[in-house]
Amino acid sequence: MTEISTTPKEAEDRLSLDRRALELEQARLLFERARSSAISVFALVALFSSIMALVVGLFEAGVWFAAATVMIGVTLLQPRMFTPPGVTSENASVYLGVHTLISGVTGAVWGVGAAWLADPDIPMSVYTGVVMVVTITLGGISPQSAFRRSYVALATMTMLPFSIWVLFSAPWPINANGIGVVIAYAFFMAISARVEIGTRDLIAAKRNIELTEELRRQRDAVQKANEEKTRFLAATSHDLAQPLHAQGFYISALREKSLDPEARALVEKVASSWRSLGQLLDGLVEINRLDAGAVLPDMGPVRLKQHTEGVVQHFEGQAEQHGLRLALEGQECVVETDAALLSRILGNLLSNAIKYTPAGGAVTVSITYETGMARLAIADTGVGIPAQAVESVFGEYVQLGNPERNRNKGLGLGLSIVRRLAQLLSIEVELKSQPGEGTSITLDIPLATENAAGNDAVLSRKPDDHQRISSLRVLVVDDEEAIRLSMSEVLTSWGCEVYCTGGDGSIVDFLDRMDATPDVVIADHRLGNDADGLQLIETVRDELNETVFAVLMTGDTSVPVLRMEDDQTKILFKPIDPAALRELLLKSRSGNVDHDS
């Protein structure tokens, strides 16, 4: 687990940000309550002015009423000073400061005014003053609870001056009311503290709801963008795969012709360029297939060393061209995995190791195992990876040694595909690297059960590469003429008897016009007029009343088409390498079709 460290400066910045957010909410609450608070205060002012007019006289009460009304006007005027734009994060602190000042002056008008109105010799005026300051202070708890500093200014300036005046000016026992006012002040301070805590909790809850909603909107936006990216890549991959698919078969057909050495060399260069472009497209297609859930592992027992040896042999020529030593070490063991997907993982790791290891270095593949787990390690003596970049190399389109984006070095999807496939197969991946000393990647693969490990017939099964396919009758169904022509050219050169249709008419009528029954059906997944290749294959099988071996071609990664795959229906993703199709047809001819193809 990655630990996130926070520096004192970052913590201080975060605390300051939280404080500003709280102040903004407090200022907004006071801003919203200003009108209703002023109305209730004016009602109290009018009530006590009327009482005081009867007790101490009309003039004194009128003066106090005028002063209190002016402060109510000031309270109402303050929000207008900040409109527009209203309370914002920039002016919230100023708004709270001005509000606190107004509250203090208002409190002084009430407290000092009550002392000025009351006559020590008239007990009723003192009692009325006590009720007046206690009522206004108690009533201020609720509207000003959003910002306690403002309430403290109001209560202090209202109650303390009046309580001091009563204690030292009124005779005993009337002056005891001053002590009561002080006790009430302390009680109100405690209540206001509790109310402020509750208000802050409400503000925090509201803030959390807003943040949660914002996160939900951002998540939805990211999800939508990701879905659009997936659809775009799927459509782009499909459209690019179509011409590349036809090109591959035309190149293969050219190879079968009698060409002079110079022309054959040019064909090989074209083929090499085609393979490079196909590999780039394969990376995009595979990422989309994994993201779309179109890759379903076919788990089974696999002899790990024997299987790895086959993959390593495929890279021996590449290693030799780079001046590297490629070696495989370790003992045989049987693991539970998908052989084809494991080959893809190994291929990506070996390709990377060879690509980033200078001439004269070595790439070593080793196998060890213990109870329940086999460990497959690919170690190189290459340039290594900086510690801060170890995690990022598993991201999409990340290439540490390719700032110029040289397409001969790929798209930077290899390790991203490795991580996705490993998660699919429950394989633990660990990368260790030291700049200048090389990189080691280990794969922890679950061992197979004893029963599965003993099934040598399953483990040792190999296709008969010498099986001829010249007698196969092949039906090719694709709505693009270039693909039909290129595939027909190659299949015919292999000795197959080929029948082609665009799939736009009735396949049953087409079968009736054929003078033979097809041994293999090769159909595109998406045909014209919304026709479906899989449905066409089923129609052929129903018409012939037998399960004809079928190959479904697709460049579409948006649906999990691999769920359609079984022993007699295989999936090939465009652009298809003719060699892969030939191998599949050989296996179908020998009755040995499996998911390793």
Does the structure show a pLDDT above 50 at 371? Answer: yes
State both tokens at 75: 């309270």
For 192-214, what is each residue's pLDDT tens digit?
A: 888 888 877 877 787 788 888 88
- Tell me which DSSP letter residue 555 carries: -
Number of H helices, E strands in the chain: 17, 12
β-strand 334-337 against 300-303: which pairing, if any?
A: antiparallel
More confident residue, 340 or 368: 368
Q: What percent of the chain has pLDDT over 90?
A: 13
For 402-435, what is each residue's pLDDT tens digit?
A: 443 344 444 445 677 788 888 888 888 888 888 8
More confident residue, 272 or 486: 486
Does the structure show a pLDDT above 80 at 110? Answer: yes
The answer to whether 288 and 237 are in contact (CB under 8 A) is yes
Work out the pLDDT band at 560, boundaries 50, 70, 90. Answer: low
The pLDDT of residue 532 is 83
Distance from chain centroid for Cα 566: 33
Q: What is the pTM of this model?
A: 0.45
Helix axis angle, 148-169 to 176-255, nearest 10°: 170
Mean pLDDT on 523-527: 85
The answer to whether 353 and 363 are in contact (CB under 8 A) is yes
The DSSP result for 164-179, as a single string, is HHHHHHSPTTTTHHHH
Work out the pLDDT band at 449, boundaries 50, 70, 90. Answer: confident
Amino acid at 346: L
The pLDDT of residue 299 is 84
Distance CA 526, CA 565 (A): 16
The pLDDT of residue 214 is 86
Does the structure show a pLDDT above 60 at 118? Answer: yes
The pLDDT of residue 420 is 82
Residues counted in the chain: 597
Distance CA 51, CA 44 (A): 11
Work out the pLDDT band at 298, boundaries 50, 70, 90. Answer: confident
Q: What is the mean pLDDT of the chain?
A: 79
Helix axis angle, 339-355 to 304-314, nearest 10°: 50
The pLDDT of residue 186 is 93
Does the structure show a pLDDT above 60 at 523? Answer: yes
CB-based burial label for 360 (10 Å; 0-12, 13-18, 19+)? exposed
Mean pLDDT on 440-462: 62
Mean pLDDT on 9-25: 62
Q: Which residues pair with 325 in a beta bridge?
A: 362
Q: Is the dihedral of CA 350, 351, 353, 354 positive or negative?
A: positive
More confident residue, 374 or 464: 374
Torsion of CA 403, 407, 409, 414, to 10 degrees: 100
The pLDDT of residue 34 is 82
φ, ψ of residue 55 to 5 degrees: the values are -85, -50
Distance CA 59, CA 80 (A): 32
Mean pLDDT on 258-273: 77
The pLDDT of residue 275 is 67
The pLDDT of residue 365 is 92
The pLDDT of residue 410 is 43
Q: Which residues pair with 570 in a beta bridge?
A: 551
More confident residue, 343 or 12: 343
Catalogue the long-range contacts made by 117-121 (C-beta closer than 8 Å, 24 or more residues apart).
Answer: 117/52, 117/56, 117/60, 117/61, 117/64, 118/56, 118/165, 118/166, 119/56, 120/169, 120/170, 120/171, 120/174
Distance CA 181, CA 164 (A): 9
Does the structure show a pLDDT above 50 at 578? Answer: yes
Distance CA 532, CA 71 (A): 81
The pLDDT of residue 259 is 73
φ, ψ of residue 564 to 5 degrees: the values are -80, -10
Distance CA 524, CA 503 (A): 9
β-strand 520-524 against 549-554: which pairing, if any?
A: parallel
Distance CA 86, CA 95 (A): 10
Torsion of CA 258, 261, 267, 271, to 10 degrees: 110
Work out the pLDDT band at 475, boundaries 50, 70, 90. Answer: very high
Work out the pLDDT band at 292, boundaries 50, 70, 90. Answer: low
Mean pLDDT on 239-260: 75
CB-based burial label for 106 (10 Å; 0-12, 13-18, 19+)? buried
